[in-house]
Structure 1
Amino acid sequence: MFVKVCGLSTPESVRAAAESGADAVGFVLTRSPREVTPGRVRELLADVPAGIPAVGVFRHEAAEAAVALAREAGLGWVQLHGDRGPADVRTVHDAGLKLIRAVTMSAAPGAFADWGEELLLVDAAVPGSGEAWNYASVRDRGLAGRHWLLAGGLDPGNVAVAASQAGAWGVDVSSGVESSRGVKDLAKIRDFVTAAKSAAAKP
C-alpha cells in the first residue's frame, strides 16, 4: 500500500512520516491552515530521505504558477486540485515534473480517465470536510489496475477498511493525523502508516 502523508509543516512531522514508512510526503503551497512557503519547504526537505517523493499541493492555481512555485520550493512533484484538463498534465510534464491529479467523486466520469498523470487522487465529493464517505463507490469509476490514491476522511482507525472497500492502490491523509486543524499529531502519523501498511499485507 502506497501511503502519502500531506500537509506537513515541521521537521518533526516530516521525520515521523518518513521514519514510519510513508512513501511520499506533501507540502501545501496554496491558501490553507497547512500552508507553507517555498522557502520553508526547502528547509523541510532536509528531513526527507532520498527516494521519497516530496509533493507540492495546489488548489486553483494555474498549472504554470504551480510549476513555478514547486521549482522555487525544490520539489519534483506537483499535486493539482480543482477543475483541470489534459493541458495541465502536459504543462507539468513539459516542465520536467511529475503529477498527482486530484478529482472528487462529484466530478464528471471523463475526469477519471487516464490523462497521463503519474497518480490520480480520488477525494470525497466535498473535499476538506474530513468526514468519512462511501469509499466502495470508487469501484464504479473504472480504476482497476491504475495507480491511484484514496483520500478524504481517512484516519488510523478506518484506513484499512476504507482502502479495502475502495480497492485502493494507495492512500493519502492530512486532517486524519492532526490533533487540531493544521497541527500534525506524530503518534497518529505513525499509527496511520502502520495501519495502512498492515492492511495491505493481510490476505
Structure 2
Amino acid sequence: MNGVRVKICGLSTEDTLDAALEAGADLVGFVHFRESPRHVAPERAAALAARARGRAERVLLLVDPDDALLDALVEAADPDLIQLHGRETPERVAAVRARSRRPVMKALGIAVRDDLAGLAAYEGVADRILLDAKAPPDAALPGGNGRAFDWALLAGTRLPEGWMLSGGLDPASVGAALARTGARAVDVSSGVESGPGVKDPERIAAFVKAVRGR
C-alpha cells in the first residue's frame, strides 16, 4: 500500500460496484447527469450508495444542480461527498456545501496554465479539488471524455492538500501520472470501461493494482 487514494467513478451496476469495492477502491462515484452514459436515476443511486455504505466513501456527481435536484439526490443517496463537475462558481460551491451539509469536491477543467488560476478561489470553499482535462468546446460531457491534460502544467504550482488527479487515466498510464505529478489521489471513469458507460471489472482491478503496485 502506498497511500494513494483511488476513486472509481460512473458506477451504475451492482456487479461493477462490487468489483470496485473488492479491488480496494477508496471512493466510488455515482453520476446523476442525463447527458452522460453513466447517468443513474435517484433510486438507482440510492441502491448503489446503500450497498457501498461503510465500505468506501460514496460520491454523488452532479453538474450545475439547482436546489431542488440537490435536495432530492442528497435525500435519496445520502452521499458522503458531493462532486460538482459543472460551471459552479465558488459562491455556488459554498451554497451547496451549506445546504447539503456534506463536504464538496469541485472539479476544475485544465487545458492551459491559466486554468490553474482559479484554484485559489475554490480552495477556500471546497473540501477537495479535482483537476480534470478541460472538455472540448463541443463536448456533451464536462468530464469522462478519456482525455488527459499536460501534467507538466502542474510543475511549480502550489496545489491544495487532498487534490485529486483525473483525465485520461487508465491502468497503463496511471503509474506515469503519479510519478510525474506526485498526486496522492486519482479518479478514473472511461479508463476502466469496455464501452461508453460500461465498466469492466478486470480493468477496474488492473487500475487499482497499477496504483497500489507502485
The question of 1:166 aligning with 2:173 is answered no
**Contact preservation (8 Å) 1:5, 1:24:** yes
1:63 Cα offset (Å): 6.0
| Structure 2: gaps (5+ residues) | 136-142
Amino acid at match of 2:28: V
- Partner AA of 1:102 in structure 2: A
**Which residue identity is paired with 2:188?**
V
Hey, what's the Cα distance between the residues in 1 that align with 2:68 and 2:186?
27
- 1:39-80 deviations in whole A, cap 9, x for unaligned? 011111243140521111112323663344232222232110
Which residue does the alignment assign to 1:3?
6
- 8 A Cα contact 1:4 1:24, kept in partner: yes
Name whichever of 77-86 and 184-193 sits farther off.
77-86
Contact 1:70/1:77 (8 A) holds in 2: no
Count of equivalent residues: 198
Q: Check whether the contact 1:3–1:23 (CA below 8 A) recurs between aligned residues.
A: yes
Contact kept? 2:105, 2:130, Cα under 8 Å: yes
The structure 2 residue matched to 1:139, chosen from 146, 155, 179, is 155
Q: Does 1:101 pair with 2:101?
A: no
Q: TM-score, normalised by structure 1?
A: 0.89
Match of 2:133 in 1: 124
Q: Cα offset for 1:133?
A: 3.3
What is the alpha-carbon distance in structure 2 between the residues aligned to residue 163 and residue 136 of structure 1?
12
Taking the aligned partners of 1:167 and 1:147, their CA distance within structure 2 comes to 11
Task: Write out per-residue CA displacement over residues 67-101 of structure 1, whole angstroms, 9 at most, x where no aligned residue.
Answer: 44232222232110122222223223223111110
Q: What is the identity percentage for the equivalent residue pairs of Structure 1 and Structure 2? A: 38
Structure 2 residue matching 1:141: 3-state secondary structure: coil
Indicate how the Cα distance of structure 1 residues 109 and 132 shifts in structure 2: closer, same or farther if over 3 A, else same.
closer
Matched AA of 2:119: F
Of 4, 14, 18, the residue aligned with 2:17 is 14
Structure 2 distance, partners of 1:67, 1:140, is 39
Q: 1:28 to 1:150 in 2, by over 3 A?
A: same
TM-score normalised by length of structure 2: 0.84
Instruction: Indicate conservation of the 8 Å contact 2:109/2:131, yes or no.
Output: yes
CA offset at residue 138 of structure 1?
A: 2.3
List alignment gaps of at least 5 residues for structure 1.
Answer: none
Superposition RMSD in Å: 1.9
Q: Match of 2:139?
A: none
Q: Deviations over 1:91-114 (max 9, x none)?
A: 232231111100011464442121
2:37 to 33, 38, 41: 33
What is the identity, as a one-letter code, of the residue corresponding to 1:84? E
Sort the Cα spacing of 1:49 and 1:75 in 2 relative to 1 into closer, same or farther, 3 A: closer
Contact 2:9 2:187 in 1 (8 A): yes
In the alignment, does 2:119 pair up with 1:112?
yes
User: Which residues of 2 match residues 186-201 of structure 1 at below 5 A?
Assistant: 186-199=201-214
Aligned residue in 1 for 2:166: 151
